[in-house]
């Protein structure tokens, strides 16, 4: 325990020193990043959340998890190249993501064997198709995590919430997990949440990619070792980043825009703009209120789902409810914003 505290303290101090250096040199900060990285804050904030998360998790390194840590590191590096504009092309980033995830899935023989959908399960018996399906799922979560990382504490709070849910289920002996991993995630995400709350650290593409990769892999593995739970419970836990990505792709195609082009019309941004303009809230207040409203809603939904994590029908109903509420609120806020611009 003492060594863990020492290691974590050393990691945090190292990142703080790195942040001071980066801010002085104006490298790898929100000022040099994309527009969405300074959407809700005008401060020059280092994009080093991913570094803090990754090196904190390294404390748990075990040779048996070599592939996991190695590919997590490569995902982190890919995100850094994006943050530093060394890979400016979204298509090229997607190519590298696909290459890395295919490599990880094949080397680990990572498969999803039971979706509770008979026809899909029959199709997934073919190993190659199963690999393709798993790669697609991880890609959706990884890029969805990047899409909804636009407000302070939103994505960090969301994944902290998932960690707490999983730890709670393990504590109640409803599932079996690698307990130390989630204890560590709860501690480090709480710290990053605190720093992010006060604009001292941002995830950047590196951090959002890393979180999407880590949680998609961990939740697939949790289902492998706890097949009594409904796979739709896992889907429910990851519904927000997944739907954020898929919905964004659809709406951009409808508007004849490239799905790869960033914009400021994501749900969290519409909520932020509504609170800032309609309610005349300051940027800091509108930011935190928007993020925590979304996460509070998810807390309610996840709490309901905990009543029966083996009940597929309940989980499917909650997923459909989420998609419906998201879509209705989105269009109401989008129309409000459009009318505002018309005036």
Distance CA 58, CA 258 (A): 37
CB neighbours of residue 225 within 10 Å: 10
Q: Name the β-bridge partners of 29.
A: 46
Distance CA 294, CA 301 (A): 11
Q: How confident is the model at residue 263 (pLDDT cuts 50, 70, 90)?
A: confident
Q: How confident is the model at residue 112 (pLDDT cuts 50, 70, 90)?
A: very high
User: Taking a C-beta distance cutoff of 8 angstroms, is the pair 212, 241 a contact?
Assistant: yes
Take residue 159 and report the two structure tokens written for it: 């994944």
Question: For a pLDDT cut of 90, what percent of the chain falls above it?
Answer: 77
Task: Dump strand ranges (E) for the chain.
Answer: none
Distance CA 337, CA 333 (A): 6
- Stated pTM of the model: 0.94
Phi, then psi, of 179 in degrees rounded to 5: -60, -40
Q: What's the average model confidence in pLDDT over 294-301?
A: 97
Distance CA 16, CA 23 (A): 11
Residue tagged 């023989």 (tokens): 109
Q: How confident is the model at residue 262 (pLDDT cuts 50, 70, 90)?
A: confident
Q: What is the mean pLDDT of the chain?
A: 92
Residue 222 has pLDDT above 60, yes or no: yes
User: Taking a C-beta distance cutoff of 8 angstroms, is the pair 163, 177 a contact?
Assistant: no
Query: Which is nearest to 76 in space by CA: 45, 100, 103?
Result: 100
List, in order, residues 6 or more apart from 206 with CB less than 8 Å away: 47, 49, 50, 51, 76, 77, 78, 79, 80, 82, 83
Domain positions in the chain are: 2-342
Q: What's the average model confidence in pLDDT over 162-190?
A: 93
Distance CA 131, CA 125 (A): 10
Tens-place pLDDT, residues 113-162 = 899 999 999 999 999 999 999 999 999 999 999 999 999 999 999 999 99
């Amino acid at each position: 325990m003492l060594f863990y505290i020492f290691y974590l303290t050393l990691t945090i101090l190292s990142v703080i020193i790195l942040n001071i250096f980066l801010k002085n040199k104006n490298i790898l900060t929100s000022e040099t990043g994309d527009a969405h990285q300074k959407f809700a804050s005008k401060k020059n904030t280092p994009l080093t959340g991913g570094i803090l998360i990754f090196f904190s998790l390294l404390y748990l390194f075990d040779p048996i998890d070599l592939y996991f840590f190695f590919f997590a590191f490569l995902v982190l590096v890919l995100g850094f190249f994006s943050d530093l504009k060394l890979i400016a092309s979204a298509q090229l980033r997607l190519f590298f993501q696909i290459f890395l995830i295919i490599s990880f899935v094949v080397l680990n023989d990572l498969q999803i064997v039971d979706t509770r959908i008979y026809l899909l399960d029959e199709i997934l018996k073919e190993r190659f198709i199963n690999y393709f399906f798993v790669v697609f799922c991880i890609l959706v979560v990884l890029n969805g995590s990047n899409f909804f990382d636009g407000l302070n504490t939103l994505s960090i709070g969301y994944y902290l919430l998932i960690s707490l849910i999983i730890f709670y289920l393990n504590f109640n002996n409803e599932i079996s997990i690698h307990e130390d991993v989630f204890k560590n995630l709860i501690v480090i995400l709480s710290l990053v949440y605190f720093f992010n709350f006060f604009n001292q650290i941002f995830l950047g593409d590196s951090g959002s990619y890393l979180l999407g990769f880590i949680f998609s892999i961990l939740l697939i593995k949790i289902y492998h070792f706890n097949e009594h739970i409904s796979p739709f419970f896992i889907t429910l836990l990851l519904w927000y980043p997944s739907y954020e990505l898929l919905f964004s792709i659809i709406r951009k195609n409808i508007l004849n825009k490239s799905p790869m082009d960033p914009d400021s019309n994501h749900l969290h941004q519409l909520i932020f703009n509504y609170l800032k303009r309609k309610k005349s809230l300051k940027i800091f207040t509108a930011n935190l209120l928007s993020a925590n409203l979304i996460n509070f809603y998810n807390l309610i939904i996840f709490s309901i789902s905990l009543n029966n994590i083996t009940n597929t029908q309940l989980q499917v109903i909650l997923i459909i409810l989420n998609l419906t509420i998201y879509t209705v609120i989105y269009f109401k806020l989008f129309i409000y914003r459009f009318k505002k611009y018309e005036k």
